[in-house]
Amino acid sequence: MDELLSGIRVLEISRGPSSALCSRQLASLGAEVIRVDSLLKNYLEHIDPLIDGQGAVYQTLSCGKKSIWLDLERQSAQAILCRLAISSDVVVTDLPDGERQRYGLGHDHLKKDNPSGVYCYIADVEDDCPWGSAATELELQAMSGFVDWLGEAGQAPVRVGADVAQWSSANYAFLGIISALFHRQRTQVGQMVETSGLRNLMGQAWWLTSLSDPDRWAGWICSGLTDNAETGYKTADRPIIWGLSLGGLEKGKKAFPELCRRVGLEELLDDPYFVEHGSRMIGVGRDAQEFKPIIESAFETRSSEELLKLIDELGGQGAVFQDYEQVVNHPHIKELGLVSEVEDSACALRVISSCWDFSRSGTPTIRNRPPREGEHTQEILRSLGYSEQEIDNMQSEGITR
């Protein structure tokens, strides 16, 4: 495959998931990504489940990378780090400003020796933020207003279960880096790319509020974003999520009476209200929650496959709720090649392929297992011009491993 970022060297110094995922995206496109390991660990290493003593998510995010180990408390190791940063096209880090300056990774310092370098800093909140410079996912969701999108209108806010700030920061940083590399191609000049969890959640919340503001009861689907958690409609086997309005309200209105006839709910058609509004009482909204038990009384005697086929015939849309194993083993997912396996000494790791498919380059796929700590230290030091004697001395002194 023609790797899109072949020849691009990326240096990753991370303590959390955002920098690790950002550089993993770059690795999937063919960049050479070097992960810096040290006594200060990325906290993902210790999060269960563990594989060979390391967290599974950390292992997955490390696939396709190289590793150099440095004792960053020693000035000689910091000098190696600076030399490596200057030789890289991209530096990605989530270290706070004070730590970056201590290690010689300040942008003003690095750009003097490598003005074409792209330096990306991912923060929780900005260093000069009046609310403080440190925050977890909980604080980020709270201060950005992102918690308004779950729970009941007028009731206490509810956090989003996933770490959306960390993962969105990684993807926004990735986009920023690609943009800066494109700009460098035209100008031969690099630049600093900064983003934060606060910025990213604020950006997403802005678009959501523009679409629907449940606190003001205005917008496209009003209460839809704060309805109860959607668990689907019960069937004889597995719950499904479905609707009839994808092709427009008029098509849904015509399809609803036929659905009622086919599943034994003809009595509903005696009420003009259901004939007029029935197709809009499915899915999200308070009416849908009240109407749900009636629909389920007919669905519970039919299989999910039978019902989805019927809904499709009527021009609607639907899907069955799937767990992880069902998703990765589904024939369509296998055909797309979205999940692949990377052989490791401990086990075979399942990894997700990139979410892009290129007409000339194909679907980018990670093929290399996660590196052991310091596995590529000597190789990387040689590429920086250190002699074999210097490399041996560094290792014997504990500067490297």
Same domain as 183, residue 252: no
Dihedrals phi, psi of 86, to nearest 5 degrees: -65, -30
Q: How confident is the model at residue 246, as a pLDDT? A: 77
Work out the pLDDT band at 219, boundaries 50, 70, 90.
very low
User: What's the confidence (pLDDT) of residue 218?
Assistant: 47
CB of 134 closer than 8 Å to CB of 98:
no
64 within domain boundaries: yes
21 and 142 share one domain: yes
Q: Are residues 34 and 91 in the same domain?
A: yes
Residue 136 clears pLDDT 90, i.e. is over it: no
Euclidean distance between the first and final Cα of the chain, in Å? 33
Q: Does residue 105 sit in the same domain as residue 129? A: yes
Question: What pLDDT is stored for residue 22 in this prediction?
Answer: 98
| Domain end marker among 288, 320, 352 | 320
- Shared domain check, 244 and 109: no
Considering the domain boundaries, does residue 222 fall inside one? no
Q: Which of 101-115, 126-140, 178-192, 193-207 has the lowest mean pLDDT?
A: 126-140
Cβ-based neighbour number of residue 134 at 10 Å = 11
DSSP 8-class letter at 33? E
Any domain includes 266: yes
Same domain flag for 311 and 345: no
Would 329 be classed as within a structural domain?
Answer: no
Q: Which domain holds residue 245?
A: 240-320
Cis peptide before 49 (omega within 30 of 0): yes
Sequence-distant (6+) residues with CB within 8 A of 122 are: 18, 19, 22, 92, 93, 94, 169, 170, 173, 195, 196
Model pLDDT for residues 171-207, shown as the tens digit of each residue: 999 999 999 999 999 999 999 999 999 999 988 877 7
- Could you give the CA distance from residue 382 to residue 364 in angstroms, rounded to a whole number? 29
pLDDT, one tens digit per residue, over 340-399 is 888 776 677 888 888 888 988 888 888 789 999 999 999 999 999 999 999 999 999 999
Residues 338 and 315 in one domain: no
Do both 48 and 173 map to the same domain? yes
Contact between residue 222 and residue 194 where contact means Cβ atoms under 8 Å apart: no
Q: What is residue 3's predicted lDDT score, i.e. its pLDDT?
A: 85
- Residues facing 202 on adjacent strands: none
What does the pLDDT average to over 80-106? 95
CATH number at residue 185: 3.40.50.10540
Helices (H), 230-368: 249-263, 272-277, 286-299, 304-313, 324-328, 331-336
- Look at 47-51, 179-183, 214-218, 251-255 and tell me which has the smallest mean pLDDT: 214-218
Q: How far apart are CA 323 and CA 320, in angstroms?
A: 10
Q: What is the mean pLDDT of the chain?
A: 89
Same domain, 293 and 248: yes
In a domain, 250, yes or no: yes
* 88: exposed, middle or buried (Cβ count in 10 Å: 0-12, 13-18, 19+): buried
Mean pLDDT across the stretch 268-282? 88
What pLDDT is recorded for position 350? 84
Is residue 78 within 8 Å of 110, Cβ to Cβ? no
Q: What are the pLDDT digits (tens) for 28-87? A: 999 999 999 998 889 999 999 988 888 989 999 999 999 999 999 999 999 999 999 999
- Return the H-helix or E-strand segment holding 91: strand 90-93
Among candidates 185, 314, 203, 340, which has minimal Cα distance to 256?
A: 314
CA distance 217 to 204: 19
pLDDT at 228: 66
Residue 303 within any structural domain of the chain: yes
pLDDT at 220 (0 to 100) = 47
> Which pair of structure tokens corresponds to residue 268?
């509903």
State the DSSP H helix or E strand holding residue 37, giving kind and residue range, or none if neither: strand 32-37
Q: In sequence order, what are the beta bridge partners of 357? A: none
Which letter does DSSP use for residue 399 in this model?
S
Q: Clarify whether residues 61 and 195 are in a common domain.
A: yes
| Cα–Cα separations (whole angstroms), residue 272 to 285, 290, 297 | 20, 18, 21
Among the candidates 320, 354, 379, a domain finishes at 320
* Size (the chain), residues: 401
Is there a domain that residue 223 lies in?
Answer: no
What is 188-239 written as a DSSP string? S---EEEEEHHHHHHHHHHHHHHHEETTTTEESSGGGGGSPPP--B--SSS-
Domain count, the chain: 2
Quick check: pTM over 0.85?
A: yes
Residue 4 in domain:
no
Contact 345, 277 (CB under 8 A): no
Residues 165 and 296 in one domain: no
State pLDDT tens for residues 12-27: 999 999 999 999 999 9
Rounded Cα–Cα distance for residues 200 and 126 (Å) = 12
Structure confidence at residue 318 as a pLDDT band (50, 70, 90): very high
Shared domain check, 183 and 109? yes
Question: What secondary structure does DSSP assign to 143-176, as a single string?
Answer: HHTGGGGSS-TTS-----SS-HHHHHHHHHHHHH
* Domain stops at, among 294, 320, 346: 320
